[in-house]
Amino acid sequence: MHSIVLPDGRLNGKAVWRREKLYKGMNGKYVERVYLSPSESVIFKPLTNTEQAGKEIYIYRHILPSFPPVYPKLLAHSPEQAGPECGWALFEDLGRLQHRFDPGTAERLLVCAASWHALPAGRWADAPLSGPKPSAGTIRSGMLEHERDWAAFQQSVPGLSPGMYGRLFTALREIDLDCVQASQVLSHGDLHLGNYALANGRLAILDWEHVHLNSRYWDLYHVLDLSHPLFPKSLGTAERERLLDGYIEAASRSGGPPLEPDFKRRYYLFSSLYSLWMLKLIAGDIERNNGIWPLDRLKSQLAETVQSFKDCLESV
């Protein structure tokens, strides 16, 4: 397999029959489906984020063997001494995946997440793992410290109202989300719709480089309420409740850390907090319109996030 990739991390054209770009990473490099022959293909993933250098390989070696087999096989990877610009991995090709939101698939995913949330997180307390976003406690503290600025921003977003602002900040003062962070579990870290699908009836979960210790709400938020410009979804209040109930039941059977008595309310506050924070990021992307994401997709993402924020805040 190493003959497919040159020492500088680029694909070896002589060893490749055909290649197909799948998506572009944050550093401009493409993840590709590489055909070694008309009937044999693998997924080539160069390092798309230098901050994650070596982490996915570490996770495949030291963490995923404890997980259910829901991830593509790692076939080969760059030498450990290779610099970040030369980093790469080759994965099993699971075929053409459809990343459309389906409640049945989401239910299977959350049951699976409950199983890895039950693993003893202390086993990886000293592992070189880090998440892609600030903690809920950090964001909560920042919002309370700059409450007027966040209130003004919230009132500038179409579809939101001052009453929503009041409800959110009352709940943020009442519930300390740092306590949520204290009961950490092992988290996938980036479980949005583009990172899971069914492959011939098998649940397939991709892109494990963001695995870290976090609140169990972090994976739940990605599955249920995090929006993505390229992978839209629509989730009603009743369906969200049903999926949360399914996760709670699976978690109670898993033997992992017990859930908080007001688990649902805390989830809804967690989701509301991050959705408002995400709205500010999305609004900034729309204002810059720098071509990273299509403008029409960003506007749809904004509308989807507004709806999630409103739905969850109603249940806080």
Tell me: do 55 and 111 sit in the same domain.
Answer: no
Tell me: do 37 and 183 sit in the same domain.
Answer: no
104 CB-contact burial (10 Å; exposed 0-12 / middle 13-18 / buried 19+): exposed
Given 92, 122, 146, the domain boundary residue is 92
Tell me: do 87 and 108 sit in the same domain.
Answer: no
Q: Which two tokens stand for residue 158?
A: 């179409």
Tell me: do 201 and 146 sit in the same domain.
Answer: yes
Q: What is the CATH number of the domain that holds 47?
A: 3.30.200.20
Q: What is the CATH number of the domain that holds 153?
A: 3.90.1200.10
Residue-wise pLDDT for 132-160, tens only, equals: 899 999 999 999 999 999 999 988 999 99
Residue 97, in any domain of the structure: no
Percent above pLDDT 70 for the chain: 98
Q: What average pLDDT does the structure give for the chain?
A: 92
Looking at residue 86, its pLDDT comes to 85
Q: What are phi and psi of 186, to 5 degrees?
A: -75, 125
Does residue 182 surpass a pLDDT of 80? no
Does residue 48 surpass a pLDDT of 80? no
Tell me: do 163 and 67 sit in the same domain.
Answer: no
Query: CA 126 from chain center: how many Å?
Result: 22
Residue-wise pLDDT for 190-222, tens only, equals: 999 999 999 999 999 999 999 999 999 999 999
Looking at residue 179, its pLDDT comes to 67
Q: Which two tokens stand for residue 165?
A: 């602002």
Asked if 16 and 28 touch (Cβ cutoff 8 Å), the reply is: no
Residue 98, in any domain of the structure: no
Does residue 181 surpass a pLDDT of 70? no
CA–CA separation, 13 vs 243, rounded Å?
46
Number of domains in the chain: 2
Residue-wise pLDDT for 50-99, tens only, equals: 777 789 999 999 999 988 899 999 999 998 777 778 889 999 999 999 99
Looking at residue 153, its pLDDT comes to 94
Identify the helix (H) or strand (E) that includes residue 12: none
Tell me: do 175 and 243 sit in the same domain.
Answer: yes
Q: What are phi and psi of 204, to 5 degrees?
A: -120, 125
Tell me: do 151 and 285 sit in the same domain.
Answer: yes
Tell me: do 57 and 186 sit in the same domain.
Answer: no
Q: Which two tokens stand for residue 288?
A: 């810059």
Q: How confident is the model at residue 279 (pLDDT cuts 50, 70, 90)?
A: very high
Tell me: do 192 and 251 sit in the same domain.
Answer: yes
What's the domain range around 59? 2-92
Looking at residue 313, its pLDDT comes to 96
